[in-house]
Amino acid sequence: EDQVTQSPEALRLQEGESSSLNCSYTVSGLRGLFWYRQDPGKGPEFLFTLYSAGEEKEKERLKATLTKKESFLHITAPKPEDSATYLCAHTNFGNEKLTFGTGTRLTIIP
Amino acid sequence: NAGVTQTPKFQVLKTGQSMTLQCAQDMNHNSMYWYRQDPGMGLRLIYYSASEGTTDKGEVPNGYNVSRLNKREFSLRLESAAPSQTSVYFCASTPGESEAFFGQGTRLTVV
């Protein structure tokens, strides 16, 4: 059965303390791996799409990478405004339903 | 651009009442989704529509019906609300294999 698991569930970092969030997947025929950011009381906001192992994408302090079994969202020198829940999601070949993991709640302490 | 618009933003229902959540997008996207989000459960897919006139069940479809009225609109109906349907509901749309755009959510409480 296709499954996406995110870890950790919650992460507290000091401002400037770099770290990584993990999204492990056991998906047959992965088509796309997506990262979203969600602020409290709002809908998810798109960050990145990754399609093949070895692919990397960057946006400001965030970098997403993809291997054959997992994706990482690296955050470098985070700021308090990076505090949010980060969600990964996937689609499969032959099934374009967008399926989400349970998310990592990131808190950056000033 | 309005993007994805959901109405209402908040709703309180009594057990057994019915209601329809409305969703409209102005981006000419083919695919639309309805999700529910509960604490610790992430976003769970209720129903999905790949194009006008087609719908497909997601992970948690029981107790819900949907209607893809046209390319812009995708509504979610609760025929007989139950307390277990208390949740935050999100509508999303996507042109295909790319980013999905989400509405701001409907916070539903069933008492």
Q: Give A62-81 pLDDT, tens digit per residue.
A: 999 999 899 999 999 999 99
Least confident of A85-89, A93-97, B52-56: A93-97
Q: Do B33 and A46 touch (CB under 8 A)?
A: no
Q: State residue A29's pLDDT score.
A: 84
Mean per-residue pLDDT, B93-101: 85
The two three-digit tokens of residue A1, written as one number: 């059965």
Q: State residue A21's pLDDT score.
A: 98
* Among candidate residues A49, A89, A58, A88, the one with its CA nearest the CA of residue A76: A58
- Per the omega criterion (within 30 degrees of 0), is the bond before B8 cis? yes
Q: Do A43 and B94 touch (CB under 8 A)?
A: no
Q: Is A76 on the interface with B (CB under 8 A)?
A: no
> B-side interface with A, Cβ within 8 Å?
4, 31, 33, 35, 40-45, 48, 50, 56, 58-59, 90, 92, 94, 96-105
Q: Which of B5, B27, B37, B43 to mutate to test the interface with A (most CBs of A within 10 A)?
A: B43
Q: What residue has token string 């994408």?
A: A57
- Range list of H helices, chain B: none
pLDDT at position B39 over 90: no
Q: State residue B1's pLDDT score.
A: 61
Q: Do A98 and B100 touch (CB under 8 A)?
A: yes
Alpha carbon distance B10, B60 (integer Å): 21
C-beta separation of A25 from A6 below 8 A: no
Residue of A nearest to B59 (CA): A99
pLDDT at position A31 over 90: no
C-beta separation of A15 from A80 below 8 A: yes
Alpha carbon distance A23, A6 (integer Å): 4
Band of pLDDT at residue B99, cut at 50, 70 and 90: confident
- Nearest CB among B40, B94, B97 relative to A31 is that of B97
**Per-residue pLDDT tens over the stretch B59-75:** 999 999 999 989 999 99
Mean per-residue pLDDT, B44-66: 94
Average pLDDT, chain B: 94
- Nearest CB among A32, A91, A100 relative to B43 is that of A100
Q: Is A100 on the interface with B (CB under 8 A)?
A: yes
pLDDT at position A1 over 80: no
- Residue B29: phi and psi, rounded to 5, are -80, 150
Band of pLDDT at residue A26, cut at 50, 70 and 90: confident
Beta strands (DSSP E) in A1-110 are 3-7, 10-14, 19-26, 30-38, 45-50, 56-59, 62-66, 70-75, 84-92, 95-100, 104-109
Alpha carbon distance A80, A39 (integer Å): 12
Residue of B nearest to A101 (CA): B42
